[in-house]
Amino acid sequence: NAGVTQTPKFQVLKTGQSMTLQCAQDMNHEYMSWYRQDPGMGLRLIHYSVGAGITDQGEVPNGYNVSRSTTEDFPLRLLSAAPSQTSVYFCASSRRSSQPQHFGDGTRLSIL
Amino acid sequence: EDKVVQSPLSLVVHEGDTVTLNCSYEVTNFRSLLWYKQEKKAPTFLFMLTSSGIEKKSGRLSSILDKKELSSILNITATQTGDSAIYLCAGDTSGTYKYIFGTGTRLKVLA
């Protein structure tokens, strides 16, 4: 039972590069979300989705894009990486928005 | 602005001690409060609280919500080194599908 799978686990980018963080869940969950976790800041919501084809912005959406073409996948795109985007990124999912979320193991992203 | 505040920020105790972690919230259209434990990687779910005054319990961990005080506590009795982790609480708002997390309490339990 895979749960929520994030790839890659680690990534180093140069300023200005773009990349996509992948997130997939095999639990048929409607609700998916992306967070970033920085020291002393807790988890901050970047974008979320309540179902295929529906996405919306969280607290800190600038510099990130998402799409949800299938129930299973919710990729996060960094358009032009900046050092301020150095962080640990977590993807999470739940059956409904009102239910506890399952988290992936995170992607540690460093931008030089 | 919605916010969730946790205290203390960090705590060091010895095995066998009892600890109380605090979470206060100001969340529009509050629906529920959730507690998570984060060890090395992914946060894992502990409790979801929606009704005031009803204690949720799992082994040595328990939690209760006080809607009048807009707060919740997480108690851990007879702590063990395996309880060392960051404990996160999050407020859930009805209708906005957004979870607001606190900064977490880092608990270290010494043998």
Q: Which residues of A40-60 are buried (b: 16+ CB within 10 A; e: fewer)?
A: eebbbbbbbbbebeebeebbb
Whole-number pLDDT of residue B1? 82
Whole-number pLDDT of residue B19? 98
CB contact under 8 A, B90 and A43: yes
Q: Is A26 on the interface with B (CB under 8 A)?
A: no
pLDDT tens digit sequence for B23-73: 999 988 888 999 999 998 899 999 999 878 888 999 999 999 998 899 999
> Which among B41, B43, B98 has the least Cβ separation from residue A58?
B98
Whole-number pLDDT of residue B10? 96
Whole-number average pLDDT of chain A? 94
Dihedral of alpha carbons A51, A82, B43, A41, sign: negative
Q: Is it the case that residue B94 has pLDDT exceeding 90?
A: no
